[in-house]
Amino acid sequence: MDWPHRGIYIFFDESTDPEIDPVSEWHITRIGTVGVSKGSSSSLWQRLRTHRGTTSGNYADGGNCRGSVFRLHIGNAIIEDEGLEDKYPHWGVPHRQLPDNISTSEIRAQEHPLELRVSERIRNLPFLVIDIPGKPHADCDRARLEKNLIALVSHARRTNPHLKKDDWLGHHSPRAEINKTGLWNLDHVNSFYTDSIISEVTPYIESTSPISETDSEGQ
């Protein structure tokens, strides 16, 4: 598929159908980007693939909560909601901080059932991408627009609680930022946004071409 090399992605909750629902009913649940650190070579598709998880191998249809903070947050909410702390005591703990008697293969096997559930949830979420090219650095348009979009949605949700979905899994998250904003985001949720954010992002939206299927190899 012909993905933009870099840009911003916007996930919605599973009840959103962008093809038939009016825009006023679309419910954003995560905003993210890629290529905002100097020297980064990551592409938009690589970031989305990390969130999606694996499709083959020993841990097919699972993923890596240590490589995707999106997966980490969803897993934490499931653990909190169902009281699974004893079953997954090391969820998201960096490998270097794991007890010496637990190997990487052991922790992957132990957490695979939860990784499967996280993958199933993420793969059912509709999302859109905005093509925002440019060299990676902290002040690039992608970084600035992502920060402002997150801050805009967060502010709206915190000041108008009725905008959040009552049955959203994130309400079980142990992180107050996620619960209060209805977003699987932590960074920028308490930031200020510029009043011009919509007019600034609109040209990028208008110039983004629909993703076309060109070659499925490696997807």
Chain position carrying tokens 């969803």: 74
pLDDT value at 77 more than 80: yes
Query: Where do the domains of the chain lie?
Result: 7-207
Q: Token digits for 139?
A: 């002040």
DSSP state of 123: H
Structure pTM? 0.93
Using DSSP's 3-state secondary structure scheme, residue 56 falls into coil
Q: Is 212 exposed, middle or buried (0-12, 13-18, 19+ CB in 10 A)?
A: exposed
* Residue of 117, 124, 29, 32 lying closest to 75 (CA atoms): 117
Q: Which of these ranges, 22-26, 77-81, 148-152, has the smallest mean pLDDT?
A: 22-26
Band of the pLDDT at 214, cuts 50, 70, 90? low
| pLDDT at position 44 over 70 | yes
